Structure 1
Amino acid sequence: MDSPGEGEVRMDRDPGTSGEGPPPGRRDRFTVRVEPAWGTETVVVAPVGELDHDTVEPLRTALEKHGEAPRIVVDCSGLDFCDSTGLNLLLRARARAVETGGELDLAGLRPPVDRMFEITGAFRVFRVYADVQEALAADGTGGARPGDRA
């Protein structure tokens, strides 16, 4: 099995007897890449794959590890699916960021993930940008407001 690249967490552990990792057949379907945005204090967190109860831990770990960053942009362009567990994680991470004077924005929402944010009303809580480049250009000071779709 390939080892993850720098800044990448893969959800591909063998479940073994400890119950860790995704169930058989669900391995290698979720990764999280974390990169600082060059020239800013923003951290870009990019989950890729299906975000659900079985795969949420790498994203939780990345968001907790970088929770002190002044701004986090979650690049959702690689998400194929997000259930209520993933949505709740993002909502809690945003609340923690705001409590500490930081920001957590979303970029690149695509179907069916954007539909879930729409029907739950959660997109009104986040600033949502068309892509990471637009989010970084706005630098959290303008552009999309909660509920706006850039």
Structure 2
Amino acid sequence: MDRKTVESANRGRLRVEVRTEGQSEVVTPRGELDHHTADLLRVPLDEALGQGRTRLVVDCSHLEFCDSTGLNVLLGARLRAEAAGGGVHLAGMLPVVARVFEITGAEAVFTVHDSLGAALAD
């Protein structure tokens, strides 16, 4: 299992772990996803897609906040993954993050799972 971690310059705001599990690239953001930290998630998603990994699973169970910039990062990754024949699966969203997806209607365009295990089993 290959694993790497990137962190935000604003200590503790966002850390992103990436690992490969079977056919899925699992990306785990921890902390706050916003205008200032969005590239920390965008870069590993883009790298995974650039390497031909088209099934992306974003483990949201440690994502404490997501604003519109973070949402746009995920939407952009979804479009690129689907264009390559794959998709983006969101797993384990905390209620505060799930609410952003519900309010914007974005939950309708993603495959959403209750847990990482469920997303990997799908």
With normalisation by structure 1, the TM-score equals: 0.76
More helix by share: 2
Q: How many residues align?
A: 118
After the TM superposition, which parts of structure 1 deviate over 3 Å for at least 4 consecutive aligned residues?
none
Where does structure 2 lack aligned partners over 5 or more consecutive residues?
none
Structure holding more strand per residue: 2
Q: Which residues of 2 match residues 1-150 of structure 1 at below 5 A?
A: 6-12=3-9, 26-37=10-21, 40-67=22-49, 68-138=52-122
Higher relative contact order (CA 8 A, sep 6+): 2
Larger Rg: 1
What runs of 5+ residues in structure 1 fail to find an aligned partner? 1-5, 13-25, 139-150
**Identity fraction in percent:** 49
CA distance in 1, matches of 2:95, 2:54: 29
TM-score (norm 2): 0.93
